[in-house]
A and B are shown apart, each in its own frame.
Chain A
Amino acid sequence: MSKNTLHTFGDSYTEGQPEDCTYPPFIEWKKLRGGNLPKSWSEILGEKLNMEVKNYGIGGNSNPQIFDDVCNKSHEFNKGDIVIINWTYKDRFRWAATEFHFDGAPQYPDENNNPLDNWRRMSVSNDQLDDFKHIKRNTKDEIIKNRTSHLYSDEIYNYENLIEQYSLSKGFDVYFWSTDNDIIINLSETKLKQKKYILNDLFVMGKYKTYHHAGEFMSMFIEMGGQTIFTETNTIVNDNTHFGELGHKVQAELFYEYIMSYRDNSI
């Protein structure tokens, strides 16, 4: 009998650190560790659950892109599978573009080296100067400002409704969490205390404020013993946003315990 699958979707907090990553701090981290990178939480969790892992997290993803990824992979979900969706910061959005490298070669070529259109990942960060080759600064700013409306949080809960309906009819389990303080964790207690919101039993709004880079939900893992790459490498690798080995381990263990508490109840 084939194994069930753990499908994970989200941003860099789900993508983790693939071996072939090109993100400079991860390259530095890999070098420091002697040429290897630790397992991400989804891999550890998959091993503990004895499930295959399909990790579709991508750094910089926006919520519309994460939902689109779910739509595109939804045919792979089977009875008994587990789907974990990590919503990201509300300000992020996607913008259609055709992108080229400095030498003029297309960034996303087809088989004949013609440029393919792609969704450019936009966020509040103004470090991405290339953004302004594709969008006017004022337009980007106004879109980001508009996205602070709570209607964009409601949009997420709408996506969840559809995914839940599908999970019920198909027979897989779905869980959601978010790195944005304005999604899920700020819901009223009645709404938050639902099985689908992973670790809702542990999370207390306002309790975990020591770690500011990725919202209070991620701060909870720091409180529980997790560390960022920056801390774990004694400040050598300048990434105080993403988790180090211990952070991933803590997240995987807490997710495992939560999921198993419901699996045990259903037996």
Chain B
Amino acid sequence: MNTLFGFGDSYTQGHFLNDTFKPFIQWKEYIGKELPPVWIDILGNKLDMNVKNYGSAGSSNQEIFHTFIQNCYEIKKDDIVIINWTYIDRFRWAAIPPFTPPNTAFPFWKKISSSTLNDNDIKEQTRIDIIENRVSYDLYIEEVYDYQKIIDLLSKSIGFDVYYWSADPLIIYSLSKEVLNQKKYIINDLIIFNDEKYIGAGGYFFETISHHGGKTVQEETNYECTDNHLGESGHRVQSELFYNYIKKYE
């Protein structure tokens, strides 16, 4: 059996691996049962493939790429890899001794973003300067396309399929139509641009999911759970759109 690999942020990790995230606990209480399956599990099931989900909430694009590298030796011919790029402001920062949180024995990469508050490992001004540099220059977006170049070549030489999508509207969805219209950009044929009706935290990709009936956790719970990740219908719609797209190219 071949394997479906997922790399990305919380939109790929889903809600099973994070029982400590308050909105997911609230959501579980609200529906009174186990949380529904994540899009990648539904997709793996439909494609009859094993699933290896390396998504990790809060990851930066650097971290997503490095997670891919660390695990690329597992990828074999006819496997499928789906990479979800994240918001450009995010970056990783080496935590240096004394490590926080307490009791951490080894150095580790901290996930830093616009919403990181009072982190002891990085000065606030440094965090602001790095983020400002990252959001002010397209070079950081081009860096992601450079990562794609070598991943594409690896996929070609090993013989696996690779698809990309992004939670950040500036990555992939700001490409010209000719460039966007490539097989590797999953559901590129469905993406909705500039429709104010569907403005959401995730940008164009999630507007497209919404357009096809996929809702967020907050929409599904009548805003009792304040979380903008996809809910049950969102994950179902995402997996269906991905499945149809992949099958079209099979």
Contact = CB atoms under 8 A, between A and B. Distances in A.
Contacts of A118: 139
A68 B146 contact: yes
B127 to A, nearest CB: 9
A193 interface: no
A142 B123 contact: yes
Interface string A149-168: 11110010011011101100
Contact of B149 (A75, A148, A170): A75
B94 A152 contact: yes
A75 B108 CA distance: 33
Interface in B120-168: 122-123, 125-126, 129-130, 133-134, 136-140, 143, 146-147, 149-150, 153-154, 157-158
Interface string A40-81: 000000000000000000000000000010111011000000
Given A119-B139, A151-B94, A161 B146 contact: no
Nearest to A160: B69
A188 interface: no
B109 interface: yes
Nearest to A162: B69
A124 interface: no
Nearest to A94: B139
A158 B70 contact: yes
B94 to A, nearest CB: 4
B158 A169 contact: yes
B111 to A, nearest CB: 13
Contact of B122 (A68, A97, A142): A142
Contacts of A147: 94
A235 interface: no
In which size bucket is the chain A interface? 35 or more
B16 interface: no
A96 interface: yes
Interface string B86-122: 0000000111100000000001110000000000001
A150 B150 CA distance: 25
A259 interface: no
A148 B126 CA distance: 16
A96 B70 contact: no
A72 B153 CA distance: 11
A148 to B, nearest CB: 8
Contact of B154 (A135, A136, A150, A166): A166
A143 interface: yes
Nearest to B140: A96
> Chain B CB within 10 Å — which of A72, A117, A142 has the most?
A142
Interface string B193-226: 0000000000000000000000000000000000
Contacts of B158: 165, 169
B129 A139 contact: yes
A96 B66 contact: no
B149 A139 contact: no
Contacts of A145: 96
Contact of A71 (B93, B107, B133, B149): B149
Nearest to A149: B94
Given A75-B149, A166-B157, A143 B137 contact: no
B175 interface: no
B73 A74 contact: no
Given A146-B96, A155-B66, 19 more contacts: A71-B149, A71-B150, A96-B137, A96-B140, A117-B138, A136-B129, A138-B125, A139-B123, A146-B94, A148-B96, A150-B107, A158-B69, A161-B70, A162-B154, A165-B154, A165-B158, A166-B154, A169-B157, A169-B158
Which 8 pairs across A and B sit closest by C-beta, in order of nearness?
A96-B137, A149-B94, A169-B157, A139-B129, A71-B146, A151-B94, A162-B69, A71-B150
29 contacts: A70-B150, A71-B146, A71-B149, A72-B149, A74-B149, A117-B137, A117-B138, A136-B125, A138-B125, A139-B123, A139-B130, A142-B126, A143-B130, A146-B93, A146-B122, A149-B95, A151-B107, A151-B108, A151-B109, A152-B94, A158-B69, A162-B72, A165-B154, A165-B158, A166-B150, A169-B157, A169-B158, A170-B153, A170-B157
